[in-house]
Structure 1
């Protein structure tokens, strides 16, 4: 599962380490400060508002989990050694995918909630808010269980040398898995982890935009409220398309390159380098989500304005 037959593993590895070290260093501080601030702000409004704050809090927690693992990732990519043990390596590796798919899940929930509040504002009550907590709990359970496949594929109990290895993350050796099993996993990840949530977010964006042109008996009459909801849903769609779409486009191509299913070495190298960039874009959501809260959530900037005054 490498490019050794093309003889460019050293160059590719150096490129990946440099890109990862720079990108993770850039997003560490804003990601940490932004998500801690978001949790502090939303904690105050969680009981007095119904505008998807529960989902935004869980999204901030997902982002914060990955941000807290970034210092160890940066150390590894700068020093090319992992002295922190195999289990901690797998945990950091695992948190990356938990953040990605938890973010996708909660962005979808935020979009659906804001769209629902535009068309059926009176249907939401305290019991529905308790239902949101259940949706969050089920989402975490689903994501955490499904993402276990990523560290399990990198962990082999039959090879004791892995526990003393100085390699980590994508450079960990993989278990031998049959091609049909790998393709099944890829299809499930693409379909359930990206395509269906993306369609859901885009449908919510279209419905919310359409609500600005018509007025129904159940729709929110305040066009300002509709515009704020549209900004939120469009922001979710933008984060989706910028951060997660490129990664899921290059994911199957990266598998073909690593499995030596492509004969052109230049194409293999290009795919691996592009996949490195798309993986960095997938991590960028940790810093973009707090910006989304500030510019689209009334509760967020209302609280910050109180601090300034």
Structure 2
């Protein structure tokens, strides 16, 4: 007579080791012989519980990023459209970078609610829309930072060759191509993100056909290549060439420009590298190359942490690309003066009209044409 048993052999943390064995009882003997079938030994890896700090950290962090990102990028958008009037290719790219930042910023209130309640309450349609807006903002943000680096490279290293090419028309056409590529790169998220029931909680997650992780791996590698590898290569090439060119210059803004170059590269690297490393590890997990239980448990939390870190970049972009520019700062100061005069019914409001600033800007532009560094960096 034979009987099958399955016993819990041991438990360590979140790993449970189950052992299946057979008991054999011959009729002629009361002795028991145990035949362990080690081929049936397996490990169940339970998802790690949410750390105690997560329900407090993420809502506060997302809220701060929302306020800072909205104020900074809205201010840049106001100055660009009302006072600067989009006169150069650099202005066009800065405008589009600001719009892509705002796309990421507008998804943050939904992330706040998602973090607080730990479930999605806005419906399936908004699940698709918000996830698509987030990823379009992600790709377009990285693409426009890359395009602005190429624009700076051309304006400084090949200034005489590209004078007729760096126009607003070409800038808008290039921006249209960038937005198209960003939308196409986000199509998998638009198709697969939907409301799903996960342990009796409604979540907004990617749901792949037949549980196939191939699409998830493809999406991760797409983000790694389009959202990090190619941009990093382009940034390193462009800013290395710019630094070599700056070393030959003898302008008073030389060292300020060099510092700005390092800031752009270092901030981009610190913001986007961690999340891409974690996505790469997630791909290895999907392909069963990583099957360690503890590492797998921590990957989901690491993805959320590094994504939050990358969102800091949309708050820093206005500072890096707009507020450090002399031309932008003059327009910003003029805007505040106009606003202050308007609120206090200042009689000398006309003294701060855009004509005097435009005249000053044109003089500055003519003088700075001797060195493209001042107008681009």
Corresponding residue for residue 97 of structure 1: 135
Q: Output the CA distance in 2 between the equivalents of 1:27 and 1:181.
A: 30
Corresponding residue for residue 295 of structure 2: 267
Q: Output the CA distance in 2 between the equivalents of 1:47 and 1:107.
A: 18
Cα distance change, pair 108–231 in 1 and its aligned pair in 2 (3 A) = farther
Q: Output the CA distance in 2 between the equivalents of 1:24 and 1:212.
A: 38
Match of 2:209, SS state, is coil
Match of 2:107, SS state, is helix
Q: Is structure 2 residue 176 aligned with structure 1 residue 141?
A: no
Q: Output the CA distance in 2 between the equivalents of 1:167 and 1:119.
A: 53
Please tell me whether the aligned partners of residues 228 and 296 of structure 1 are also in contact (alpha carbons under 8 angstroms). no
Corresponding residue for residue 288 of structure 1: 316
Cα distance change, pair 55–294 in 1 and its aligned pair in 2 (3 A) = closer
Residues 101-135 of structure 1 show CA distances to partners (whole Å, capped at 9, x for unaligned) of 11110000111111211123342247732111111
Please tell me whether the aligned partners of residues 121 and 202 of structure 2 are also in contact (alpha carbons under 8 angstroms). no
Counterpart among 217, 240, 245 of residue 273 in structure 2: 245
Taking structure 2 as the reference length, the TM-score comes to: 0.68
Alignment of 1:17-32 (within 5 A): 17-32=55-70
Q: Output the CA distance in 2 between the equivalents of 1:64 and 1:187.
A: 25
Corresponding residue for residue 218 of structure 1: none
Q: Is structure 2 residue 334 aligned with structure 1 residue 306?
A: yes
- The count of aligned residue pairs is 292
Corresponding residue for residue 209 of structure 2: 175
Residues 70-106 of structure 1 show CA distances to partners (whole Å, capped at 9, x for unaligned) of 1122112112232221110121112221111111100
Cα distance change, pair 86–166 in 1 and its aligned pair in 2 (3 A) = farther
RMSD: 3.0
Cα distance change, pair 307–70 in 1 and its aligned pair in 2 (3 A) = same
Q: CA deviation at 1:64?
A: 0.6
Residues 59-78 of structure 1 show CA distances to partners (whole Å, capped at 9, x for unaligned) of 11011112122112211211
Q: CA deviation at 1:48?
A: 3.5
Q: Output the CA distance in 2 between the equivalents of 1:21 and 1:259.
A: 32
Q: CA deviation at 1:259?
A: 6.6
Would you tell me which structure has more helix in proportion to its own residues? 1
* Larger Rg, first or second structure (1 or 2): 2
Q: CA deviation at 1:233?
A: 4.1
Alignment of 1:103-118 (within 5 A): 103-118=141-156
Most deviating of 41-50 and 275-284: 41-50
Greater relative CO (CA pairs within 8 A, separation 6+) = 1
Q: CA deviation at 1:166?
A: 5.6
Q: Is structure 2 residue 134 aligned with structure 1 residue 88?
A: no
Taking structure 1 as the reference length, the TM-score comes to: 0.82
Q: CA deviation at 1:227?
A: 5.2
Residues 178-198 of structure 1 show CA distances to partners (whole Å, capped at 9, x for unaligned) of 455554444333223311111
Please tell me whether the aligned partners of residues 194 and 204 of structure 2 are also in contact (alpha carbons under 8 angstroms). no
> What stretches of structure 1 of length at least 5 have no aligned partner?
216-220
